[in-house]
Amino acid sequence: ALLERAAATGLEKHPRKLNIQIKYGTAGFRTIANQLDHVIYRMGLLAVIASKSRKATIGVMITASHNPEEDNGVKLVDCHGEMMPAIWEKYATQLANAGDDEIVGVLRNILSAEVKNPDVSAKVIYGKDTRPSSVPLAQSLQDGIVALEGEYHDFGLLSTPQLHYLVVCTNTNGAYGQPTEEGYYNKLSHAFQALSKQQEPTPCKNYSRRLYVDAANGVGAPKLRSLLSHLGGLLDVQVFNDGSEGRLNYQCGADYVKVQQKLPVDMKVEAGIRCASFDGDADRIVYYYIDQDGKFNLLDGDKIATLVAGYLQELVARSGINLNLGLVQTAYANGSSTEYITDTLKVPVACVPTGVKHLHHKAQDFDIGVYFEANGHGTVLFSDDALKRIADSAGKNSSLTSDEKQAVKHLSTVIDVINQTVGDALSDMLLVEIILRTRDWSPSDWNKQYIDLPNRQLKVKVKDRNVISTTDAERKVVTPDGLQAAIDTIVTGYTKGRSFVRPSGTEDVVRVYAEADTQVNADKLAKEVGNKVY
Ligand code: NG1
Ligand code: ZN
* Helix, strand, coil share of the chain (percent; to 5): 45, 20, 35
Residue whose CA lies nearest to ligand 1 atom number 17 = 506
Please state which CATH number belongs to domain 2-157. Answer: 3.40.120.10
Atom number of ligand 1 nearest to Cα 330: 15
3-class SS at 436?
Answer: helix
Pairing of strands 123-128, 151-157: parallel
Q: What are phi and psi of 237, to 5 degrees?
A: -105, 135
Q: How far is the CA of 373 from the centre of ligand 1 (A)?
A: 9
At 341-356, the pLDDT tens digits run 999 999 999 999 999 9
- The whole-number pLDDT of residue 243 equals 86
Counting from 1 in the atom list of ligand 1, the atom nearest the Cα of 513 is 12
Summary mean pLDDT of the chain: 96
- 504 alpha carbon – ligand 1 mean position (Å): 7
CA of 354 to the centre of ligand 1 (A): 7
Pick from 307, 261, 351, 282: nearest CA to 66: 282
Query: Which atom of ligand 1 lies at the shortest distance from residue 373's CA?
Result: 15
Q: To test the ligand 1 pocket, which listed residue (334, 375, 512) has its Cβ within 8 A of the most ligand atoms?
A: 375
From atom 11 of ligand 1, which residue's Cα is the shortest distance away? 375
Query: What is the atom index within ligand 1 of the atom nearest the CA of 506?
Result: 2
Of all protein residues, whose CA lies closest to atom 10 belonging to ligand 1? 27
Task: Kindly state the helix (H) or strand (E) to which residue 306 belongs, with its residue range.
Answer: helix 301-319
Do 321 and 368 meet the contact criterion of CB atoms below 8 Å apart? Answer: no
For the annotated binding site for substrate, the residues are 373-375, 502-506, 511
Closest Cα to atom 16, ligand 1: which residue?
Answer: 355
Determine the Cα–Cα distance for residues 263 and 283; give it in Å rounded to an integer. 19
480 pLDDT above the threshold of 80: yes
Confidence grade of residue 199 (pLDDT, cut at 50, 70, 90)? confident
Nearest CA-CA partner of 316 in 287, 347, 279, 286 = 347
Q: Where are the domains of the chain?
A: 2-157, 186-296, 301-447, 455-531
User: Mind listing the pLDDT tens digit for each residue in 29-51?
Assistant: 999 999 999 999 999 999 999 99
How many angstroms separate the alpha carbon of residue 375 from the centre of ligand 1?
8
The ligand whose atoms approach the alpha carbon of 333 most closely is 1
Q: Decide if 124 contacts 58 (C-beta within 8 A).
A: yes
Confidence of residue 397 (pLDDT cuts 50, 70, 90): low
* Residue 333 CA from chain centroid, whole number: 15
Nearest CA to ligand 1 atom 19: 375
Ligand 1 atom with the smallest distance to the CA of 355 is 8
Binding residues for Mg(2+): 65, 279, 281, 283
Express each pLDDT in 379-392 by its tens digit. 999 999 999 999 99
The pLDDT value recorded for residue 201 is 65
Summarize pLDDT for 460-479 with one digit per residue, the tens: 999 999 899 999 999 999 99
Residue-wise pLDDT for 115-168, tens only, equals 999 999 999 999 999 999 999 999 999 999 999 999 999 999 999 999 999 999
Q: From the CA of 217, how far away is ligand 1's center (Å)?
A: 20
What's the angle, vertex CA 177, arms to CA 173 and CA 180, rounded to 5? 90
Out of 3.30.310.50, 3.30.460.10, 3.30.2350.10, 3.30.565.10, select the CATH number for domain 455-531.
Answer: 3.30.310.50
Positions marked active-site: 65
C-alpha span between 34 and 229 (Å, rounded): 36
Ligand positioned closest to the Cα atom of 163: 2
Q: pLDDT, tens digit, for every residue of 404-456?
A: 999 999 999 999 999 999 999 999 999 999 999 999 999 999 999 999 999 99
The protein residue with its alpha carbon nearest to ligand 1, atom 9, reads 355
Q: How close is the Cα of 12 to the center of ligand 2, in Å?
A: 33
pLDDT at 122: 98
CATH number of 301-447: 3.40.120
pLDDT band, very low/low/confident/very high, at 253 (cuts 50, 70, 90) = very high
- pTM confidence score: 0.96
Q: Ligand 1 pocket: which of 249, 329, 354, 458 to mutate (most atoms <8 Å of CB)?
A: 354
Q: What is the pLDDT of residue 104?
A: 98
Same fold, 2-157 and 186-296: yes
Q: From ligand 1's centre to the CA of 476, what distance in Å?
A: 18
User: By mean pLDDT, which of 164-173, 197-206, 229-238 is the weakest?
Assistant: 197-206
* Residue with CA closest to ligand 1 atom 5: 506
Pocket residues: Cβ below 6 A from ligand 1: 26-27, 65, 332, 354, 373, 375, 377, 504-507, 511
Q: How far apart are CA 528 and CA 513, in angstroms?
A: 11
Cα angle for residues 240, 241, 246 (degrees, 5° grid): 170
- Testing ligand 1's pocket by substitution, the residue of 65, 256, 506 carrying the most ligand atoms inside 8 A of its CB is 506
Pocket test for ligand 1, best of 260, 284, 351, 373 (most atoms within 8 A of CB): 373
For domain 186-296, the CATH class is alpha beta
